[in-house]
């Protein structure tokens, strides 16, 4: 009987540990789901150039740099099967303003990849420099876009 009681006691403790772990797993899954949804929201959906113009215009309103132009690139497929949209952004500002803009751009679009950044200036430019940035922004996978649209309509 004592052996039976000890075995059952061990099984009860294991079941309690499993239940506690399951509770933690549910909370962790909710965190991961929220993170993934946030990342998808920061990815291009619909017309890539229109999306980029809208999002970069909203970001530029909060920045002291002067936007000189947005030049569309193209869609690229990666080896992993995901898509990205590359483009060039021309803007001007001081070194600090350019650095802050690049930092904010990377923070706003964490799945993006800055491919190149060039800053051109001369002694007579009074601290303002021209910058050109090439960036690749991730495009939402087609099935993910369909799922998000279905979720929004329901």
For the entire predicted model, the pTM comes to: 0.66
pLDDT 10s digit of each residue in the chain, 154 long? 889 989 999 999 999 999 888 888 888 888 888 888 877 777 777 788 888 888 888 888 888 888 888 898 888 876 767 788 899 999 999 889 999 999 999 988 888 889 999 999 877 778 889 999 999 888 887 664 455 556 656 5
Residue 145's pLDDT is: 47
Residue 153's pLDDT is: 62
Residue 147's pLDDT is: 55
Residue 151's pLDDT is: 60
Residue 146's pLDDT is: 54
Averaged pLDDT score across all residues of the chain: 84
Residue 109's pLDDT is: 86
Q: In CATH, which of 3.30.70.60, 3.30.565.10, 3.20.20.190, 3.90.950.10 is domain 48-146?
A: 3.30.70.60
DSSP the chain: -HHHHHHHHHHHHHHHHHHHHHHHHHHHHHHHHHHHHHHHHTSB-SSHHHHHHHHHHHHHTTSSSEEEEEEEEEEEE-TTS-EEEEEEEEEEE-HHHHHHHHHHHHHH-TT-EEEEEEEE--GGGTT-EEEEEEEEEEE--HHHHHHHHHHHH-
């Amino acid at each position: 009987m004592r052996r039976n009681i000890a075995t059952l006691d061990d099984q009860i403790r294991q079941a309690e540990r499993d239940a506690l772990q399951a509770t933690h797993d549910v909370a962790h899954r909710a965190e991961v789901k929220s993170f993934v949804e946030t990342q998808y929201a920061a990815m291009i959906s619909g017309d890539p150039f229109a999306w980029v113009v809208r999002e970069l215009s909203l970001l530029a309103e909060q920045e002291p740099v002067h936007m000189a132009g947005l030049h569309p690139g193209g869609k690229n497929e990666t080896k992993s099967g995901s898509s990205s949209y590359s483009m060039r952004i021309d803007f001007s500002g001081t070194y600090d303003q350019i650095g802050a803009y690049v930092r904010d751009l990377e923070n706003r679009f964490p799945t993006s990849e800055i491919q190149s950044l060039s800053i051109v200036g001369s002694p007579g430019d009074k601290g303002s420099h021209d910058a050109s940035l090439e960036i690749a922004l991730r495009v939402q996978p087609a099935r993910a876009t369909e799922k998000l649209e279905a979720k929004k309509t329901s």
